[in-house]
Structure 1
Amino acid sequence: MPSLVQRVMARSALLLALACLGAQPSLADIRVPPGNRHAEQPDIPGGSRSRTKATRSSFKAKYEKIHALLAGNRSLQDKIRKAARAYGIRPIHIAGALVGEHTYNVDAMDQLQSYYVKAASYLNAGVDFAYRGESVADFVARPEFQPCETARGDARLWACREAVFERRFRGRTVGGTSFPDNRFGAVFFQPFYAGQTFGLGQLNPLTALSVSDMVHRVSGYAPLDMRDAGEVYASIMDPDRTLAYMAAVIRVSIDAYSDIAGFDISDNPGVVATLYNVGDPFGRAEKLAAANRAGAGRLPEENYYGWLVNEKIADLEAIFP
């Protein structure tokens, strides 16, 4: 029986050949098996190490804290299961994202009530998504972003806008404005702390906006507006609403890898968690697909964050069997 890598290469070669003939085949996705591809955990970023050291904690202690929150809070478990059902994903994918974020990003708050209080405070925070006085709404109305308007859905729309920012604005001076060599989300969407994420799911505002249409359609929450930063922050700080946004982000990643790269990653929580951590599922799926068309025979892999999720899978499956 051909190995998994051989199957990847054969499928990619067939897709390329059919594409050259003008055909658009519908081939079954290659299932990415459970478990880690790396024998040892990939390097953990220095920023995560320094944040953890500054709080006089450890990754082990932080993992145990978020695990205890998940295992000991029946209400949270029920909400995770409900969100997972609504978006057609497994509860363990939401749990894996929570474990990764609260092990390597921040400590889990002891009481979910703290998040509800913070969510209310953000509604009247008086912040805007802007850079040097230009609102993001005015910025994306620039002609450079016009091709993005044909994108289908918020996820592809904002992915296109991010790509345009990377190519045309990042680290450049355009129209008299000097743009920093930093991500679109950090420049326009995080007026409190550049690079900061928020809430139980540690989402950033741009990520929430990118799934707003799906969350509105599936969960019924009002669409988010880039002109109303306070409401965006409140949505990702609210523990009830943020689970819907987390589930939608995970759904988008799973679908992107299926549609673009031909992989079913749903049986590998570590790979799914990795995409939750690194973002840009469309761009990453496209790069993987291109590499495999060139004969790389690559499978999706976990990073340090996803590696922990797969390593602790038995713990998590005991909570979400």
Structure 2
Amino acid sequence: MNLGNNFKRIAIAAGTGFFALTLVSNAQATTVVPAGNRNAEQPTIPGASANRTKKMRTTYEAKYQKIYGLLKSDRGLRTKIKSAAAAYNIDPVHIAGAIIGEHTYNVDAYDQLQTYYVKAISYVKQGVSFSYKGESVSDFIKRPEFEKCAGLSDSYSLWTCRENIWDSKFRGKKVDGNAYPNNRFAAVFFQPFYAGQTFGLGQISPLTALQMSDMVNRVSGLPKLSADDGAQVYKTIMDPDLSLHYMAATIKHSITAYNKYADFDISKNPGITATLYNTGGADSRARALAAINAGKQNKQLPQENYYGWLVNSKIDDLKSLF
């Protein structure tokens, strides 16, 4: 099967010279990123994380022990993680690592998994709309600037296109007499409760959930999400039974992107997938790394950030969960 795909790619590229050779090389030269950290010491932790932890009167180690304790004590949660990981053909340690990183550096974990289910229902009852200054995101994306995205059918490509248009045409700019914040698309339109925050066990943003909706529908059979139904989006990212599938899909997408664009197999390094879960933008980061490595025999490997570094440093703990 793989051999047939490679020949197909070569045939498509026939007559394009150097580009054809590049495709052949990509099909044959995928580099497996080994386990472990590339950095001897943990990269700098952002000040926002440090300030948040200080305000909570706790420490990173205490937060780590709390979320790790939840994973270790809840067999049902571990079973759900393994099931979601199996659906996307990834090691469950990748999902556990992302959960560990989010709750060590971004938020504190609830003591019981049941709390997340309760929160999920509360968001449905509150009602949610994705808007900015009274304009819904569904109306906003009807502007002519977004016309280039109209032909895209896959939810990831579609919402990523819209996010890029926001960054290039609206972010920090004045358009048609309206001034727009110099902030992320997700923070401006998709977080009506606490701007800049993500939610749930996996700390997934509503925009990420919308991006991954088609993959999750295809692989897990969950209903597709719509920006017009904010309550359902929030229930999805708060309900562990649903959000774990979105976590798995996000991680799988990162692995696929690095294989496709940068010729790296990052599936053996949970610290790298955790880093990408934390930063987002796997496609653009993979392309940027590919550009750095173009024509080089000794390739620069993907590197973990502070968040991924923790995951790799705790890998024995995480593996013991499964």
Pair in the same fold by TM > 0.5: yes
How far apart are 1:150 and its partner, in Å? 3.3
After the TM superposition, which of the residue ranges 277-286 and 296-305 deviates more from structure 2? 296-305
Kindly provide the CA deviation profile for residues 221-254 of structure 1, in whole angstroms up to 9, marking residues without a partner as x.
Answer: 1110001111100110001101011101111111
Matched residues, percent identical?
58
Change (3 A) 1:191 1:20: farther
Secondary structure at 2:36 match in 1? coil
Structure-1 residue corresponding to 2:275 = 274
Q: Is this contact kept in 2: 1:155–1:252, CA < 8 A?
A: no
Distance 2:58 2:154 in 1: 41
Structure-1 residue corresponding to 2:252 = 251
**Residue from 292, 311, 316 that aligns with 2:318:** 316
Q: Partner amino acid for 1:96?
A: G
Q: Is the counterpart of residue 183 in structure 1 residue 190 in structure 2?
A: no
Structure-1 residue corresponding to 2:35 = 34
Q: Is the counterpart of residue 136 in structure 1 residue 150 in structure 2?
A: no
How far apart are 1:159 and its partner, in Å? 1.6
Distance 1:201 1:21 in 2: 42
Distance 2:186 2:320 in 1: 36
Structure-1 residue corresponding to 2:309 = 307
Distance 1:101 1:206 in 2: 17
After the TM superposition, which of the residue ranges 283-292 and 72-81 deviates more from structure 2? 283-292
Change (3 A) 1:290 1:258: same
Kindly provide the CA deviation profile for residues 7-31 of structure 1, in whole angstroms up to 9, marking residues without a partner as x.
Answer: xxxxxxxxxxx97534132234211
Structure-1 residue corresponding to 2:12 = none
RMSD of Structure 2 on Structure 1 (CA): 1.5
After the TM superposition, which of the residue ranges 77-86 and 27-36 deviates more from structure 2? 27-36
Q: Partner amino acid for 1:139?
A: F
Provide TM-score, normalisation by structure 2: 0.91
Distance 1:109 1:247 in 2: 21
Structure-2 residue corresponding to 1:21 = 18
Instruction: Give 1:210-289 correspondences, 5 Å limit.
Output: 210-289=211-290
Q: Is the counterpart of residue 297 in structure 1 residue 299 in structure 2?
A: yes
Distance 2:143 2:167 in 1: 15
Q: Is this contact kept in 2: 1:159–1:280, CA < 8 A?
A: no
Q: Is the counterpart of residue 107 in structure 1 residue 108 in structure 2?
A: yes
How far apart are 1:148 and its partner, in Å? 2.1
How far apart are 1:114 and its partner, in Å? 0.8
Distance 2:110 2:131 in 1: 30
Distance 1:85 1:19 in 2: 39
How far apart are 1:294 and its partner, in Å? 6.5
Distance 2:136 2:177 in 1: 16
Distance 1:139 1:223 in 2: 21
Distance 1:142 1:186 in 2: 19
Unaligned runs of at least 5 residues, structure 1: 1-17
Structure-2 residue corresponding to 1:76 = 77
Secondary structure at 2:28 match in 1? coil
Distance 2:51 2:143 in 1: 39
Distance 1:202 1:57 in 2: 19
Moved over 4 A (4+): none
Q: Is this contact kept in 2: 1:159–1:282, CA < 8 A?
A: no
Q: Partner amino acid for 1:48?
A: S
Instruction: Give 1:132-171 correspondences, 5 Å limit.
Output: 132-151=133-152, 153-171=154-172
Distance 2:193 2:219 in 1: 30
Structure-1 residue corresponding to 2:196 = 195
Distance 1:261 1:84 in 2: 23
Distance 1:47 1:22 in 2: 44
Distance 2:166 2:299 in 1: 31
Distance 2:250 2:88 in 1: 10
Distance 2:29 2:293 in 1: 16
Structure-2 residue corresponding to 1:15 = none
Secondary structure at 1:117 match in 2? helix
Unaligned runs of at least 5 residues, structure 2: 1-14
